[in-house]
A and B are shown apart, each in its own frame.
Chain A
Amino acid sequence: DGGITQSPKYLFRKEGQNVTLSCEQNLNHDAMYWYRQDPGQGLRLIYYSQIVNDFQKGDIAEGYSVSREKKESFPLTVTSAQKNPTAFYLCASHSEGSSNYGYTFGSGTRLTVV
């Protein structure tokens, strides 16, 4: 079945450490997105990529970095510069060519800084 795989589901990080969240899709979607979900703030866009080897900052990119070396993969690194990294992170992909203008979401990664 096609879809988005995010791993790990739960992640614990010590303060001062960088950590990378994985997002892989086998939908052949061109665009991929990273969102952060916090209670009462909805989903805020961190980074997005419309095409391989290109990406743009979203609304809250500070303290995060991404790469898009392959169409299937869009990993997110939470750096030590991110002041409040504990949150739920959602990856999504999208294809304009899809009949339902489909956005597909992964199951998310819950990151906790300890």
Chain B
Amino acid sequence: AQSVSQHNHHVILSEAASLELGCNYSYGGTVNLFWYVQYPGQHLQLLLKYFSGDPLVKGIKGFEAEFIKSKFSFNLRKPSVQWSDTAEYFCAVTDSWGKLQFGAGTQVVVTP
């Protein structure tokens, strides 16, 4: 069975710092990869997704992610975070059947 691992459960950083959240998956077949964000009290929102092509994917709000097939990784990055980036971030993977599996999430707190 496929699984999704997010390396950090909690991250605290200051405004303007760079952010990188790790995500690894265990599935040998073709996958589609996603990062979702959930702001406090709000619904899940898609940040970015990767299906094929350029492994460096740019999403909304200045986020990007890099797919490294050899490492089964899809890490999320943002060069300079803002207080408004405080949220929970979820990595998700679909297999060839389209079943969407989520990681446990990373709570990110950005301090002013």
- Of B49, B51, B90, the contact of A43 (CB 8 Å cutoff): B90
- In chain A, positions 35-82 with a C-beta closer than 8 Å to chain B are 35, 40-45, 48, 50, 58-59
A59–B101 Cα distance when bound, in Å, is: 9
B32 at the interface (CB under 8 A from A): yes
Closest CB in chain B relative to A3 CB, distance in Å? 11
| Contact indicator per residue, chain A 26-38, by CB within 8 Å of chain B (1) or not (0) | 0000010101000
Inter-chain contacts of B98 with A (CB < 8 A): 31, 50, 94, 96
Inter-chain contacts of A45 with B (CB < 8 A): 99-102
Does B43 contact A42, Cβ atoms closer than 8 Å? no
Q: Which chain A residue shows the least CB distance to B102?
A: A43
Inter-chain contacts of B101 with A (CB < 8 A): 45, 59
- Of A58, A96, A100, A105, the contact of B43 (CB 8 Å cutoff): A105
A23 at the interface (CB under 8 A from B): no
Inter-chain contacts of A41 with B (CB < 8 A): 104-105
Q: Which chain A residue shows the least CB distance to B107?
A: A40
A10 at the interface (CB under 8 A from B): no
A21 at the interface (CB under 8 A from B): no
With A42-B103, A48-B99 in contact, is A101–B44 under 8 Å at CB? no
Known: A40-B9, A42-B6, A45-B100; 12 extra A-B contacts, CB below 8 A, are: A40-B105, A42-B102, A43-B102, A45-B102, A50-B97, A59-B1, A59-B101, A94-B100, A100-B49, A103-B100, A105-B44, A107-B43
